[in-house]
Structure 1
Amino acid sequence: MYTASFAFFEAIWEAGITHCFVNLGSDHPSIIEAMVKGQREAKGKFPTIITCPNEMVAMSMADGYARLTGKPQCVIVHVDVGTQGLGAAVHNASTGRAPVLVFAGLSPFTQEGEHRGSRTEYIHWIQDVPDQKQILSQYCRYSAEIKTGSNVKQMVNRALQFATSDPQGPVYLCGAREVMEADLQPYSLKQQHWDPIELGGLPKSAVTKISEALAGAKSPLLVTGYSGRNHQIPGALVELANKVKGLRVLDTGGSDMCFPADHPAWLGLRFGADDAITTADTIIVLDCDVPWIQTRCKPREDAKIFHIDVDPLKQQMPVFYIQSDARYRADALTAVEQITEALNKEELSSKLQASAAEAEEERSKAYQNKLATIAKAAEPLADGSFGTGHLSKMLRDLCPEDTLWAIEAVTNTQFVHDNLQPKIPGSWINCGGGGLGWSGGGALGIKLATDAENGGKNKGKFVVQIVGDGTYLFTVPGSVYWISRRYNIPVLTIVLNNKGWNAPRRSLLLVHPDGLGSKATNEEINISFDPVPDYSGIAKAAAGGDIHAAKVDQASELESVLKEAIAKVQAGQTAVVDCKVAPDC
Structure 2
Amino acid sequence: MAEAFLVQLRRRGVERLFVNSGTDFASLVEAYARRKDSGLDLPDVVVCAHENLAVSMAHGSYLGDGRVQAVMLHTSVGTANAVCAVFNAARSRVPVLLTAGRTPLFEHSMLGSRDAPIHWAQEMFDQAGMLRELVKWDYELRDGAHVQDVVDRALDIATTEPRGPVYLSLPREVLAGPVFGPQDAAAPALPSTAHPDPAAVARLADHLASATFPVIITGDAGADRRAVPLLAELSERFGIAVVESGVRHVNIPADHPLHAGYAVGEVLAEADVVCVLDLDVPWLPGSSTPRADAVVVQCGPDPSFSRYPMRTHRTDLTITANVTALLPALTAALAERAVDPGRADRLAARVGGWRERRARLLETESAAGGPITKAFLNTALAQVRPSDAVVVNEYWASPEILGSTVPGTYFGTPPAGGLGWGLPAAMGVQLARPTTTVIATLGDGAYMFANPAACHQAMAMHHLPVLTVVCTNAHWGAVQSSALRMYPDGHAAGAPELSPLARLDPAPRFAAYAEASGGLGLHVTERAELVPALQRALRTVQDERRHVLVDVECA
The TM-score, its normalising length taken from structure 1, stands at: 0.91
Match of 1:573 among 546, 550, 555: 546
What's the offset of the Cα at 1:185?
4.1
Q: Give the % identical residues.
A: 29
Match of 1:208 among 174, 183, 202: 202
Match of 1:468 among 443, 452, 456: 443
2:340 maps to amino acid: L
Deviations 1:18-41 (A, max 9, x none): 111111111121121122223654
Match of 1:443 among 415, 423, 426: 426
1:559 maps to amino acid: V
Q: 1:522 to 1:161 in 2, by over 3 A?
A: farther
1:15 maps to amino acid: R
SS in 1 for 2:326: helix
How far apart, CA to CA, are the structure 2 residues paired with 1:101 and 1:522?
Answer: 46
Q: 1:231 to 1:435 in 2, by over 3 A?
A: same
What's the offset of the Cα at 1:299?
1.0
The equivalent of 1:379 in structure 2 is 366
The equivalent of 2:328 in structure 1 is 337
Matched, 1:157 2:152: yes
The equivalent of 1:457 in structure 2 is none
2:242 maps to amino acid: V
Structure 2, unaligned stretches of length 5 or more?
A: none
What's the offset of the Cα at 1:523?
4.7
Deviations 1:85-141 (A, max 9, x none): 10210001001111111111111111131x211111111111111011111111111
How far apart, CA to CA, are the structure 2 residues paired with 1:429 and 1:26?
Answer: 35
How far apart, CA to CA, are the structure 2 residues paired with 1:522 and 1:173?
Answer: 49
Matched, 1:88 2:63: no
Matched, 1:228 2:200: no
What's the offset of the Cα at 1:289?
0.6
1:209 maps to amino acid: R
SS in 1 for 2:149: helix
Deviations 1:334-360 (A, max 9, x none): 211111111212xx33x3215444334
The equivalent of 1:538 in structure 2 is 513
What's the offset of the Cα at 1:377?
5.5
The answer on whether the counterparts of 2:258 and 2:347 sit within 8 Å (CA) in structure 1 is: no
SS in 1 for 2:217: strand
How far apart, CA to CA, are the structure 2 residues paired with 1:337 and 1:111?
Answer: 59
Matched, 1:309 2:306: no
What's the offset of the Cα at 1:547?
1.0
The answer on whether the counterparts of 1:162 and 1:171 sit within 8 Å (CA) in structure 2 is: yes
- Counterparts of 1:63-462 in structure 2 under 5 Å? 63-113=59-109, 115-185=110-180, 187-200=182-195, 202-245=196-239, 247-270=240-263, 273-345=264-336, 348-349=337-338, 351-364=339-352, 366=353, 368-376=355-363, 378-379=365-366, 381-383=368-370, 385-409=371-395, 412-413=396-397, 416-432=398-414, 433-451=416-434, 460-462=435-437
The equivalent of 1:455 in structure 2 is none
SS in 2 for 1:28: helix
Matched, 1:557 2:529: yes
The equivalent of 2:471 in structure 1 is 496
- Counterparts of 1:8-19 in structure 2 under 5 Å? 8-19=5-16
The equivalent of 1:516 in structure 2 is 491
Q: 1:21 to 1:125 in 2, by over 3 A?
A: same
2:549 maps to amino acid: V
The answer on whether the counterparts of 1:569 and 1:575 sit within 8 Å (CA) in structure 2 is: yes
SS in 1 for 2:393: strand
Deviations 1:493-527 (A, max 9, x none): 00011221100111112211111122235553321
The equivalent of 1:456 in structure 2 is none
Q: 1:521 to 1:24 in 2, by over 3 A?
A: farther
What's the offset of the Cα at 1:436?
0.7
What's the offset of the Cα at 1:465?
0.3
What's the offset of the Cα at 1:277?
2.1
The answer on whether the counterparts of 1:522 and 1:528 sit within 8 Å (CA) in structure 2 is: no
1:230 maps to amino acid: D
How far apart, CA to CA, are the structure 1 residues paired with 2:28 and 2:80?
Answer: 20
What's the offset of the Cα at 1:229?
1.0
Superposition RMSD in Å: 1.8
SS in 1 for 2:7: helix
The answer on whether the counterparts of 2:275 and 2:299 sit within 8 Å (CA) in structure 1 is: yes
The answer on whether the counterparts of 1:214 and 1:282 sit within 8 Å (CA) in structure 2 is: yes
The TM-score, its normalising length taken from structure 2, stands at: 0.96
SS in 1 for 2:23: coil
How far apart, CA to CA, are the structure 1 residues paired with 2:35 and 2:153?
Answer: 23
1:578 maps to amino acid: D
Residues 47-56 or 261-270, more deviating:
261-270
The answer on whether the counterparts of 2:221 and 2:251 sit within 8 Å (CA) in structure 1 is: yes
How far apart, CA to CA, are the structure 2 residues paired with 1:447 and 1:186?
Answer: 39
How far apart, CA to CA, are the structure 2 residues paired with 1:355 and 1:87?
Answer: 48
Deviations 1:273-329 (A, max 9, x none): 531123211000011110011011111111101111111221211101221101121
How far apart, CA to CA, are the structure 2 residues paired with 1:380 and 1:151?
Answer: 66
SS in 2 for 1:530: coil
The answer on whether the counterparts of 1:7 and 1:186 sit within 8 Å (CA) in structure 2 is: no
Deviations 1:228-249 (A, max 9, x none): 111011101111111222x221
Q: 1:119 to 1:263 in 2, by over 3 A?
A: same
Deviations 1:534-556 (A, max 9, x none): 11113322x1xx11000112221
Matched, 1:24 2:10: no
Match of 2:55 among 56, 59, 73: 59
How far apart, CA to CA, are the structure 2 residues paired with 1:155 and 1:214?
Answer: 45
How far apart, CA to CA, are the structure 2 residues paired with 1:297 and 1:110?
Answer: 59
Q: 1:13 to 1:215 in 2, by over 3 A?
A: same
1:95 maps to amino acid: R
Q: 1:352 to 1:63 in 2, by over 3 A?
A: same
How far apart, CA to CA, are the structure 2 residues paired with 1:484 and 1:367?
Answer: 38
How far apart, CA to CA, are the structure 1 residues paired with 2:191 and 2:35?
Answer: 27
Q: 1:381 to 1:84 in 2, by over 3 A?
A: same
What's the offset of the Cα at 1:184?
1.5
How far apart, CA to CA, are the structure 2 residues paired with 1:395 and 1:357?
Answer: 32
The answer on whether the counterparts of 2:145 and 2:181 sit within 8 Å (CA) in structure 1 is: no
1:24 maps to amino acid: S
How far apart, CA to CA, are the structure 2 residues paired with 1:30 and 1:17?
Answer: 19
1:130 maps to amino acid: F
The answer on whether the counterparts of 1:15 and 1:191 sit within 8 Å (CA) in structure 2 is: no
The answer on whether the counterparts of 1:499 and 1:530 sit within 8 Å (CA) in structure 2 is: yes
Deviations 1:424-481 (A, max 9, x none): 1111112423101101111111000012xxxxxxxx2100000011111011101000
The answer on whether the counterparts of 1:93 and 1:431 sit within 8 Å (CA) in structure 2 is: no
SS in 1 for 2:128: helix
